[in-house]
Structure 1
Amino acid sequence: MRHDPKFYTFQSAYLNEIAKFHLQNAFLEEETEDQLFRLFAHVSLTRDPRATRDMVPAEVWANRPPDPEISALEEQKAELKQGRYRFQGREDEAKIQALTKEIRNKRAQRNKRTVKDYREYYFYNNPTWALETLCGKRETVKRNRTPPTAYTEPPATLGFTKPEVELEPASDHFPLLMNTNQCPECIGDERLTLGERAFRYSRPTKRNDHFDDHHLEAKERAEQLGQLIKCTHEKCKDVKLSTVDHFRNHVKSVHKIVLRPSHQAQERRARKLMHRRSRNSG
């Protein structure tokens, strides 16, 4: 078995150092340990399945400007061929073949550079795109799907009587001083449930994202049309405001809710639009 005293028993017989696989595993038709280790080393949980060999979009290939060097070589080749398809046996045959080979090599090099540049562009910007997508996710309102249990009065024959319940006065569900994580628009929307109107987001940034995505555009449209802007809070229904900035000042001074300024809202809207365009083009 060619025992090698410097290694383990049968090491030289069962491990072929040139072929890079175990003879014993190959005979038993099993995966070799070395091959499995190489496989696991190249597998990553963070691997992007979209980063394939042919990941360059068709729009990138179509919008590439012409290469001046390749164009010059093609013009030189066309002059030598003089519009003829066959050039075998002509005195310029060797030069035409050399130009054809050079053009093919330069096209391959250019395509390789395009793939390399796009992969660098993709992996450089993809983390930012992913974070912006996650930040743009709306934190949904938690809904209680369990219906309230109705009280059923037991039959009188069993000797039970309905307990006397002392009714408490209705509590103030919507105080003027709101929680900093509540939406100043949803709290007065009577189409929502009580829990949805009083819902609190995890932090003010998420509340501002919700307000900008679902309420800001309607208020900006009302300002453009010269309409008055209302505060939907049930204690401020008589308040009429002329601009969106007046609405921001109102909810800040009265309800202690600090909304995102107009310039920051516009910058966030522009970033989302750029990300959407780049994602559609990719």
Structure 2
Amino acid sequence: MFRTSEWKALRYSTYAYYLDRLGWATGFEQKITSYCFRRGTGNAVDGAATTAVRDQILRHNPQTGVFCGSYINEKVRFIVQDAVLDQPTDSGFLRAFTHMSLTCDPRAPQTVPDNVRDALPPDPELVQLKLEQQELRLELKRLYGHAFVQGSIGTEAGEEYRQLNRQIATVTKTLEQELKREYRRDYFYRIHNEELEKIIKKVKVVTPTYVEPVVKH
């Protein structure tokens, strides 16, 4: 059991934030949440136990259909072709291709390269906010001097300046998150075709040596 504090409870928002960062750092295509663990547990138990036991484990009321509606794996764990041809199915192969780790790629980018950022046009909303901030900053400097931040406390113009700063920070953070998500989504969209092209063209790929991380308890 790992503890972050001896007396302070871990907030769910903090826990969810850590899970998201963990999934991002390890290269998962999908966002990692606590729901992933519940869903994974439910699908592992489903078929190995009775419906009643499965619902009991997940604390679902019986006969409500919650599992089939919200938890069952969208990738059907059944090969229809094998059933039609009356041939056995490789269960290990089937499990591997219905697991969310199938699309996990440690090479997935975690940040956006500077050359990609530089090629993007500036956001109009952010540009407008910064222009308003600069104009108000010059006006406050004229009225209160270099210590305008402290001198304008309690004034309408000072509050407007601080509100603009908060807006700029919010818009900048939102744009940064959207840019990272889109760049990462584009990577997963094109990487499969790029890998196939390398195989077809017989491009030699140098695989880096895997170094097992040292885990300290």
Shared topology, TM-score over 0.5?
Answer: no
| Structure 1 or 2: more helix by fraction | 2
Q: Relative contact order (C-alpha < 8 Å, sep 6+): which is higher?
A: 2
Bucket of the pairwise TM-score, normalised by the shorter protein: 0.3 to 0.5
TM, length-normalised to structure 2: 0.41
**Normalized against structure 1, the TM-score is what?**
0.32
